[in-house]
Structure formats: structure tokens, C-alpha cells
Amino acid sequence: MKAKNEIFKDMLNEQKENLETAIEIKQNNFEISQNLLESRFELYPENRRRSVNKVIYHNQYFQLVYNLNSQSLTIESKGDLIYSAIPYDTGRNYIQKALIQSILHPTKTRKYIESHENNLKKYLALSIFQVSGRKVTLDSNEVERAYQQIFEDALFEMQVLGRLMQHDETGPLSANLAGKFLYSENIKTGISPYLAEYLKFVVEVTQTLPISTDGKNVQLLDSAYEQTSEKGYLDQPKSLALTSQSDLNVGLENLPATLKVEIENLKVSEPISQVMTKPLLKSNVGNQLKALRKNYVAHSQAPKELEQYFENVHSTQNDNKINVISDIDSQNGKLPFSNPNFNILVGNVSNSIVSDTEMQGIYVIGNHELSDLLSDNIIFKKSKWNAFREKEWFEELVVDPNQAWAKLPVGNNSFYELIKDELAQNYPKMKILNNESVIYEGIRYIGLTIPLALSKRKKELQNFIAIEMERLLAQDRNIPTVIISHAPLFNELSMLSPKSKSYNKSYKCAHRGILNLFDKFNIIGAIHGHHHIPASSGQSKMVSFSNKKLFVVCSIYSKINTGFELSNLLSDLIP
């Protein structure tokens, strides 16, 4: 019989062999992927003049492009196809995602729409008013007929699903409602023909190449059989992405017959004039659209102002084991969700001095907490603020916070400790981290007070980050560590896309000491909020920084996103 130490050695050797095998498979798959990409580059002569964005597949209207710098794939219109005649229509990604989900999960997506019936009928009544000037009740024949028309055209139903996903994630819509919710007006927008062409392209390209797409994000698969599963809009684990292995039979049944046949045969033919208008092309209608949009006057309202008129059809309870959420911006003094487990609140929780005596976990300070607390007259009158009353930034926090943000003290200021004390009274079971750390289930969480991305004061901010990280990391060199801050530490550890208007290319890491800390210590990831990145754009990603792979998480609150399950990500990284 083997001695215990020999058994232990055998276990270690087996683990080592398994790891080596896994690494070898990954390396082989990586080489296959690289060879595949390089062979695709050669197929398209236009790649000779493209130094970064290389075409690897295209058809008449769309192309699949690989970015050499970010090593990422995107599906792009080739420039002639118009998504929507509605000016400033921001729903495209939601509608493309809705299309994929409708094809993969038609029963669940139909139920999702039906669960919003009351909200939809409010949109329909408002749409009828925008078109005709007539006020109709929610139970009127006009509204009922418009509601039924949603389910009579599959491509229109996909659009409505996308609008509802946008509603649940970013707030109620108000502009151009008729074009979005009334079939009679929607057929003039060109969105259905766009979707038909997009669907044909994504099915064709996923059948041709080992990729997956959820309607926005595109991934090159390690193998032709790899699937993407996670919790999504329909509130249960499932495959969210289209691949060559996806079962499309049920989802295609509701499509117009000609489109269904085209997709089944994987060929692109003429647009389907029997069931929809032809695609809107810039080469045909570009000048007319320019004139229309030039004279367009938006009649939209802020989503927050409209929320009181719509009901929340989603559960407010969330059972994530480690629940990450930020930018809740509660208006009524209460958290709009509940979770009995460990929560990580990443700032900007409150616009109304929220109190929750049962919420457990950790909390880092965002910029809204500052102005929110000082707006309360009882808190503002406390003598502890006397040392700050003559500061310009303090006065503006009280009178006009938007003028104060760029002037806030960097996060080692004693002001934040007083803010922490006030927050602690409202969350007795939460640990407020003001440049502090806490260990939970073997992971160390370091909470840094970075209320804003102070790009114009980057040197000052990064000196602070380096000093505080070194102090806190030194307590234990080896423990897996996650860095949390409301604003991202810097661009390299941010979920914000370089294409965003909020992106500042100068907000990057320029401090050698920070790089060394990430290299020396067992830092496995970073969590931030602040930028209000919709969950549909992705809540986590893996990045390369300072000679290692790290995760980045940004989970913004919405009706359909009450938190990101961090424990799944941690279990993938830490056996």
C-alpha cells in the first residue's frame, strides 16, 4: 500500500499532466485559430491596404472584420445598408441581440414580450397619439389591434423585443415611438429588411467559420463545438450565442417563407418584395435621409422622468453568491433589489440617501454619494464638515455638483472618511472600504476611493493608487486579490470601449510602480462602475496587463440586471 506522501505525489503529477494537456490543447487551438485568420486575410485583396482591420468574410451588405490590435472580431455594415430611417436610433445592438434570441429561444422570447403587455400598451397608446393626435385608452380597440400586430410579423416582433430589452436596461423610451411600436409606421423605417439581411449573414458566417455571436459580440471559438452559456435577458442559464451547432428549426418557422428558405439554403438572393420593403441603401436614399435628419426635432424625455408610468415586470430578488452591482442611483431611499448573500456595491448607489439594514458585503464610495449625503440638511449642518466649508469643491458639491466633480480631492483625503462614517450608519452590515481591504472566502478585496476618472490630474491620481495599493498589498503577498473602485483605475482595466464618447485615451496607466505591483502580487482582477455600460455590451472581459491575464468587471444596475455573479468567474480562475 502506498504511503500518504506517495499518493500525494501521484495526485500532484496527475494534476500537472492534466494541466500540461490542457495547455497543449489551448496552444494547438491558438495555432489553428491564427492559421485560420491568416488564410482568411489572403482571400480579400482589400486587406493589403488595411493595416489593422482585416476582412475575413463578407457578402453584399456585411463584413466580418478582425482587429489586429485588440484581437477582436466585429460584424460591420459595408456602408451602404441603412439600419433605420429613424434619426438617432440607438437600439440596433439590442434588436440584433433580440433577433438571435428569437431564433434560438422563440418560446421564451414570446413570453418575455407578453410579460410586458401593460407597458407595451402604454407605448402603443402614446404611439397612436404621436401619429394621430388622438388619445386612446389602453383597453381600446386601436391599442388591442396594434398589440396583436406585434405577433403577426416575426421581424417586427424581434424589434419590439429589442426595444423592451433596451427599456429594461436603460429606461423608458420616448422619441419616435410610432416607428418603434406601430407596425403601420415601422414598415417605413427599413429595419425589417436590415434584419433579414443581417440574419442571413450571421447564419452564413457561423456555418462557414468557427465563430459565435450574440448579435453584438463575436468570438472565435477554440473548437467548432464550443458554446457560450451564461445568464441573460430571459432570466435563466442558456446558450446566448449563435454557432454552427445551434438548432434553428423552431426559430425559423415564424419567419416569412421566402426568408426561411434562403436561410435554410444558406444563400443570399434578392430582397423579399412579397413580405417587406427592400433594404434602405445610402446610395439610393442618402440625400433624402440627410434632409429628414437635418430638420429633425427630438421630443424625447429623460428615462428617469418616465419610469413612474411603467411597471417593473422582473423579479427584484437576486440570489448570486457574490453579487457585483453599481450605479443604482436610487431615487426613493430604497435599494430596488435584494440579495441575501455577499454584495459588492461599486458606488453611485444613492441619489436619495438609501438605507438598508440587511444588505451584506462591501461598498466603495462613488461621486453621487458625496452630493447625496450633503444634500440632506441635517447631515450638512454637522460640525464635522467645518474644515471643508470654505473649499470651492465642497461648496459646489452642495450647490452644483456637476461643477465640483473635476475638483474633488484625490481619494486619501480625510473628507472621504467622514462620508464613510455616514454611509456606515445606513448600511450596518456592509463594510465601507475607503482605501481598505477585506478578505471573503479566500479572496482579498481592496476598495480604493476613486469617485471619478480624473484624467487631467492623472499623475496625482496614479501616485495615490500606487501608494495605497502597495500599503494594502504588503499585508499578504500571495492571496488572490481583486481591486475595486467606482471609476476605473485606468483604461487598461476598464470595460469602457475606445469607441465611446466618454473614452479618454490619455487616461491610461503611466506609473511604473503600479505596473510593478501588478507584476509582483497575486492580483487577479479589477471591478469598476461609473461609465453606465449596459449589460448588453458585456459585463466582464479578460485583459493582458503587466505580464498577466486579469479579469475586468463592470455591472451596472438595470431592471434586467440586478448584479453580476462574480463567484462563477472566480471559480474559473481559482480551482
Q: Is 522 inside any structural domain? A: yes
Q: What is the pLDDT of residue 567?
A: 94
Euclidean distance between CA atoms 146 and 142, whole angstroms: 6
CA distances to 183, 320, 404, 496 from 325, in Å: 37, 11, 25, 16
What φ, ψ does residue 169 adopt, rounded to 5°?
-100, -35
Domain-embedded: residue 221 = no
H helices within 134-222, ranges in order?
141-149, 154-170, 177-181, 183-186, 191-208
Distance (Å, whole) CA 560 – CA 562:
6
Domain stop point among 62, 77, 92: 77
**Look-up of cell digits 419567419:** 255
Rounded to whole angstroms, how far apart are CA atoms 64 and 44? Answer: 12
Residue at which a domain ends, from 61, 77, 93: 77
Q: Are residues 177 and 34 in the same domain?
A: no
Q: What per-residue confidence (pLDDT) applies to 575? A: 65
Q: pLDDT at position 253, please?
A: 86
The 10s digit of each residue's pLDDT in 233-285 is 554 444 678 998 888 888 888 888 888 888 887 643 434 334 455 788 888 88
Say if CB 150 and CB 117 are below 8 A apart.
no
Distance (Å, whole) CA 300 – CA 175: 5
Residue pointed to by grid coordinates 424625447: 300
Q: Both 527 and 387 in a single domain?
A: yes
The whole-angstrom separation of Cα 334 and Cα 26 is 47
What SS3 state is found at 390?
A: coil
Contact predicate 310/234, CB 8 Å: no
Domain assignment present for residue 476? The answer is yes
Q: Is the same domain home to 280 and 193? A: yes
* C-beta of residue 204 within 8 angstroms of C-beta of residue 212: no
Distance of CA 512 to the CA centre of its chain: 30
* Distance from C-alpha of 243 to C-alpha of 225, rounded to nearest angstrom: 8
Q: Is the residue at 279 inside a domain?
A: yes
Pairing of strands 360-363, 430-432: parallel
SS3 of 57-96: EECCCEEEEEECCCCEEEEEECCCECCCCCCCCCCHHHHH
* β-bridge partners, 77: 62
Residue with cell 427592400: 278
Report residue 355 as a C-alpha cell.
Answer: 438605507
Task: Write the DSSP symbol of residue 280.
Answer: P
pLDDT at 274: 42
Q: What is the pLDDT of residues 507-564, one digit of tens each?
A: 999 999 999 999 999 999 999 999 998 888 889 999 999 988 999 999 999 999 999 9
CA proximity to 318, closest of 562, 81, 106:
562
Complete DSSP assignment for 423-458: HHHH-TTEEE-SSEEEEETTEEEEEE---S--GGGH
CB neighbours of residue 268 within 10 Å = 16
**Under-70 pLDDT residues of the chain:** 1-32, 222-239, 266-277, 297-299, 575
Q: Is residue 46 part of a domain?
A: yes
pLDDT value, residue 6? 57
In sequence order, the 6+-apart residues with CB closer than 8 A to the CB of 178 are 127, 128, 130, 131, 185
Please indicate, yes or no, whether residues 307 and 183 belong to a single structural domain of this protein. Answer: yes
Clarify whether residues 189 and 295 are in a common domain. yes
Place of cell 502580487: 521
408 and 374 within one domain:
yes
Last residue of a domain, one of 56, 77, 98: 77
Predicted TM-score (pTM) of this structure: 0.82
321 with 299, same domain: the answer is no
Question: Could you tell me how far CA 524 lies from the centroid of its own chain?
Answer: 21
Same domain, 385 and 427: yes
Name the amino acid, one letter, at 510. Answer: A
Phi, psi of 229 (to 5 degrees): -130, 135
- Percentage of the chain beyond pLDDT 90 is 68
Other beta carbons within 10 angstroms of residue 40's beta carbon come to: 18
- Quote the pLDDT of residue 572: 79
Task: Looking at the structure, tell me whether residues 309 and 333 fall in a common domain.
Answer: no
- Based on the fold, state whether residues 274 and 130 are members of the same structural domain: yes
Query: What is residue 84's predicted lDDT score, i.e. its pLDDT?
Result: 94
Q: Can you give the residue range of the structural domain that contains 90?
A: 83-216+226-314
**How many distinct structural domains can be found in the chain?**
3
Say yes or no: 161 and 234 in one domain.
Answer: yes
Answer yes or no: do 296 and 321 share one domain.
no
